[in-house]
Amino acid sequence: MAALLQKTVDEVKKDMDEVGVPYNPDIPIFISERYSRALGKCYYQTRDNKRIATKIGISKEIIDYGDWDLIRNVICHELIHSADDCVYCYHGGVWKVYADKMNRYKNYHISRITHVPDEMHEHYNNYHFIIECQGCHTKSYFQRSTKTVEAVKKGQKTIKCKKCGSKDFKVIER
């Protein structure tokens, strides 16, 4: 999962470079299990009277849920917060200018929304088993442990992905 996050981060940075939207290139990005409803957070510190971004956390809930369009939008939202000229902006000023630029030229849907949408949150909490295709990362949700879930847990290649044909699946631990 960390590799997939890194891949998405690299893609987002490439998109930002292409339209000239700045970010802190060295900022570490990690998956946080501690956010109740926050999608992501950009952390700051003040050094020599200057505010700088130090790290970005992305909610494990949205990573597990697997809506990659939302994930890339959240990564981009937080990366814009990390830019030197955005550290005091919150969701206004140049932050908004940069977000609009990504939406307009790179087909992002960055908004000021900072919390997991209700519908997604309820869905996530009602389904306790998630199976992920290792080929295309499509997820399937189960309310209880089924034969399919058990087979995947045991490493049996009994199901095939309808999207990419892969037989390699993983149960995501909640």
Binding of Zn ion by 164 (CB under 5 A): yes
In the complex, least distance from residue 91 CB atom to Zn ion, rounded to whole angstroms: 6
Helix (H) or strand (E) holding 32: strand 29-32
Q: Answer left, alpha or beta for residue 79, where phi above 0 means left and psi between -120 and 50 means alpha.
A: alpha
Name residue 45's amino acid.
Answer: Q
Binding of Zn ion by 136 (CB under 5 A): yes
Q: Report the Cα 88 to chain-centroid distance in Å.
A: 23
The sign of the CA dihedral 45, 47, 50, 54 is negative
**Binding residues for Zn ion, how many (CB under 5 A)?**
7
User: Quick one: which of 166, 168, 170, 172 contacts Zn ion (CB under 5 A)?
Assistant: 166
Closer CB to Zn ion, 19 or 136, in the complex: 136
Closer CB to Zn ion, 45 or 125, in the complex: 45
In the complex, least distance from residue 153 CB atom to Zn ion, rounded to whole angstroms: 18
Q: Report the Cα 107 to chain-centroid distance in Å.
A: 16
Q: Which of 67, 9, 4, 7 is nearest to 39 (CA)?
A: 67
User: Quick one: which of 60, 117, 135, 153 contacts Zn ion (CB under 5 A)?
Assistant: 135
User: Quick one: which of 53, 133, 149, 171 contacts Zn ion (CB under 5 A)?
Assistant: 133
In the complex, least distance from residue 172 CB atom to Zn ion, rounded to whole angstroms: 14
Closer CB to Zn ion, 15 or 126, in the complex: 15
Report H helices in the chain. 2-19, 60-65, 68-82, 93-106, 118-126, 147-153
Write out the residues near Zn ion by the rule CB under 5 A.
133, 135-136, 161, 163-164, 166
